[in-house]
Structure 1
């Protein structure tokens, strides 16, 4: 794998774990990473005190100006990138993808990429029925109950063409062919 596009949505759940894995992959490989954030992805990076880190670790990242700005859907659709990874993905992003709503930079990128041959990988945060433990920006452990509608949408997402739902952030290592640390 030579180039990947990594889209960050407004999920606080799994953002720190995902970020550390992507930083590790960048350090261990010569994979070119194009990082882009939804409007809420930017909010969450700031809320979780990661804004300075992303500027340092991924200085050429892009932030959403609109569904097609910056223009990344074209290069994704024609195969310039070897993969599109959306991690982590909020329930809102998953629902929009499932129902064909492409009104954000991330959902438009997925919609257009899925039409081509570039594989799309999505780490949906609402994957399993029941409760999950996660952490607040201050590191306080929290328990969240997953909603049935969100789990059902993730299951529908897994059935869509050219989209693979990841089970954990660590699955990204396997996608790019890097040994897990």
Structure 2
């Protein structure tokens, strides 16, 4: 079986999506996965420390590549595979509210939304895990500095020892430089660096877009990444 996995710029459900695909690869050694990553998806994968883990799922070679949006120009030539009977499924997990809104309104101006368009045209089943379905969700943040605990040390070990030089002078963590390694968490004497859960309220418009998505041909909406395990067998 050959699967295309699309990743967009959501932190919510990102780690769970990775774990699901890792389990699938363990369960089905012959499974081939290509990964299509949006520009925002690439940044968020790095923030959450997952960029270096994807080669365990897509190790390279034909039909096991990792495609970055920045490398695919404006025409995204690799999505042509969906018209050539190359994939059995396209799974988008996680899918941001922005991605869902574009798909529901026929916009295909990113690598992942274009992949969905071509998959539908090529009669490839599309499964999407939106992060903003309804109600309230709890989501994990990338690393940040707790101002109530930070002592603004003149000599700041986390800043001095950051391999990516992701700390600014204020200090703040520049999430576009941070790769989520977590070294700073262990060396901050005051425990001021942490991730953590936040409560997010889903906007009405995002919830409505998910309902529209449910009614589109060739697309199945999944409530969470674990539902993927019921599809691939």
Larger radius of gyration: 2
1:157 alignment counterpart: 213
Partner deviation per Cα, 1:86-139 (whole Å, 9 max, x = no partner): 1100000000011111101101110111122210000011112x2111111244
Q: CA deviation at 1:57?
A: 4.3
User: What are the within-5 Å matches in structure 2 for residues 17-56 of structure 1?
Assistant: 17-29=16-28, 30-56=30-56
**Matched positions, count:** 174
Worse-matched range after superposition: 134-143 or 50-59: 50-59
Moved beyond 3 Å, runs of 4+: none
Query: RMSD across aligned C-alpha pairs, in angstroms?
Result: 1.3
Secondary structure class of the residue paired with 1:84: strand
TM-score by length of 1: 0.91
CA distance in 2, matches of 1:9, 1:120: 15
Asked whether the 8 Å contact 1:67–1:102 carries over to 2, the reply is no
In structure 2, stretches of 5+ residues that fail to align are 60-64, 144-194
User: What are the within-5 Å matches in structure 2 for residues 67-146 of structure 1?
Assistant: 67-69=74-76, 71-128=77-134, 130-138=135-143, 139-146=195-202
Partner deviation per Cα, 1:34-63 (whole Å, 9 max, x = no partner): 111001110000011111212454333110
In structure 1, stretches of 5+ residues that fail to align are none
TM-score by length of 2: 0.71
